[in-house]
């Protein structure tokens, strides 16, 4: 992986670039370019190779670029963005040094995580996989609605980028009608009374190559679903929305964002099952969410509040 991204960055989809030119620019041998690019397909990148001409990408890739991302932020933004070629997990790296406002975004993640030890898979050049550190003066107890507040900010930025059907699933997923397009993972440090140092991790599919997987649920991507801006601008605008939303959440909690979250609620009034950590299932109709970000589920005529913890929500099909 260490040479693959530098080699791929030398290529485009418009014309062929010779192995010799790549080798010269990177100060490596032609043989090394050839063995490195032979591995591209295992990362979902397809290349055309033409004898005597070199290599061409089958589809263009907009690589992450710090100044293009930072250009979308306010001049006095609290965010400082670091672009990595590879990270085992941006959440894990940031938890080791969670300075307020630090953002890590990576082209490739080998150990991306979801909740409860699940995996998050990304696409080289086709995902946004990032984490940001934010310190909240209050303790963790005040932060139950944070995944929902982050989801509302993401949905706002994605909708403004042309994707009309972006939806939210409690507590931490972004959906399109075809499947899951993004996930949020919040981890924190600090004692019960605060301040809480929080790491907010996000994985978002812009593009899904054929044969990515294996995934145990349908996945979807923003490209082809209305997305009308590039990867760097989208990421910068997502950060800008988060920078507006996080101080507001710190001051006022989730309640002012609840209406916006529910306007994007993908499974509103739908029958669903809540899978409890002890293996039990609770069946009901999803009514929406509370001011604190708990799920409101109608079970046998009563409204029950489900707090996120280790529960999972699954749709119940007729």
Q: CB–CB of 124/97 below 8 Å?
A: no
Query: What is the closest distance, in whole angstroms, from the C-beta atom of residue 263 to ligand ATP in the complex?
Result: 20
Whether residue 49 lies in the annotated active site: no
Closest to 308 measured CA to CA, from 171, 204, 196:
171
The rounded distance, in Å, linking the Cα atoms of 3 and 23 is 11
CB atoms within 10 A of CB 305: 11
Query: Using CB under 6 A, which residues numbered 95 to 134 contact ligand ATP?
Result: 114-115, 118-121
The rounded distance, in Å, linking the Cα atoms of 154 and 96 is 25
**Which residue, 67 or 270, has its beta carbon nearer to ligand ATP?**
270
Query: What is the closest distance, in whole angstroms, from the C-beta atom of residue 129 to ligand ATP in the complex?
Result: 9
**Which residue, 37 or 168, has its beta carbon nearer to ligand ATP?**
168
Query: What is the closest distance, in whole angstroms, from the C-beta atom of residue 164 to ligand ATP in the complex?
Result: 20
**What's the 3-state SS for 222-283?**
CCCCCCCCCHHHHHHHHHHHHHHHHHHHHHHCCHHHHHHHHHCECCCCCEEEEECCCCCEEE
Q: What track of x and - describes contact with ligand ATP for positions 217 through 236 (by CB under 6 A)?
A: x-x-----------------
Whether residue 169 lies in the annotated active site: no
Whether residue 317 lies in the annotated active site: no
Work out which of 9, 86, 92, 180 binds ligand ATP, going by CB under 6 A.
180
Work out which of 109, 172, 197, 290 binds ligand ATP, going by CB under 6 A.
172
Query: Using CB under 6 A, which residues numbered 191 to 210 contact ligand ATP?
Result: 203, 205
**Which residue, 5 or 208, has its beta carbon nearer to ligand ATP?**
208
**Which residue, 140 or 151, has its beta carbon nearer to ligand ATP?**
151
Nearest 5°: the CA angle 246, 248, 249 is 65
Per the residue annotation, which of 102, 115, 237, 258 is the catalytic one? 115
Residue 174 φ/ψ, nearest 5 degrees: -110, 135
Work out which of 31, 215, 263, 305 binds ligand ATP, going by CB under 6 A.
215
The rounded distance, in Å, linking the Cα atoms of 21 and 4 is 15
The rounded distance, in Å, linking the Cα atoms of 145 and 295 is 10
**Which residue, 10 or 290, has its beta carbon nearer to ligand ATP?**
290
The rounded distance, in Å, linking the Cα atoms of 314 and 179 is 13
Q: CB–CB of 141/190 below 8 Å?
A: no
Taking CB under 6 A as the rule, does residue 183 contact ligand ATP? yes
Query: What is the closest distance, in whole angstroms, from the C-beta atom of residue 182 to ligand ATP in the complex?
Result: 7
Which residues sit at the interface with ligand ATP, rule CB under 6 A? 114-115, 118-121, 172-173, 180, 183, 203, 205, 215-217, 219, 312-313
Active-site residues: which are they? 115, 180, 314
């Amino acid at each position: 992986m260490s040479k693959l991204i530098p080699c791929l960055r030398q290529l485009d989809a418009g014309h062929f670039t010779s192995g010799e030119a790549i080798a010269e620019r990177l100060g490596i041998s032609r043989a090394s370019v050839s063995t490195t690019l032979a591995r591209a397909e295992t990362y979902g990148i397809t290349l055309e190779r033409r004898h005597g001409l070199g290599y061409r990408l089958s589809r263009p890739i907009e690589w992450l670029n710090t100044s293009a991302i930072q250009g979308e932020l306010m001049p006095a933004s609290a965010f400082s963005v670091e672009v990595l070629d590879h990270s085992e997990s941006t959440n894990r790296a940031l938890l080791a040094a969670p300075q307020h406002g630090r953002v890590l975004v990576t082209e490739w993640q080998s150990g991306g995580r979801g909740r409860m030890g699940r995996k998050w898979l990304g696409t080289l050049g086709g995902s946004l996989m990032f984490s940001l550190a934010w310190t909240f003066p209050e303790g963790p107890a005040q932060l139950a609605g944070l995944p929902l507040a982050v989801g509302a900010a993401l949905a706002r930025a994605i909708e403004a980028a042309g994707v009309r059907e972006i939806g939210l699933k409690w507590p931490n997923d972004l959906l399109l009608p075809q499947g899951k397009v993004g996930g949020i993972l919040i981890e924190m440090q600090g004692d019960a009374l605060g301040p809480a140092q929080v790491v907010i991790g996000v994985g978002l599919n812009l593009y899904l190559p054929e044969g990515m997987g294996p995934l145990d649920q349908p996945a979807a991507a923003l490209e082809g679903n209305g997305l009308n801006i590039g990867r760097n601008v989208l990421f910068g605008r997502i950060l800008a929305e988060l920078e507006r939303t996080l101080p507001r959440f710190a001051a006022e909690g989730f309640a002012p964002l609840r209406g916006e979250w529910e306007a994007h609620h993908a499974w509103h009034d739908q029958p669903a099952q809540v899978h409890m950590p002890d293996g039990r299932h609770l069946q009901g109709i999803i009514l929406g969410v509370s001011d604190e970000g708990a799920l409101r589920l109608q079970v046998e005529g009563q409204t029950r509040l489900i707090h996120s913890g280790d529960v999972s929500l699954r749709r119940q099909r007729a």
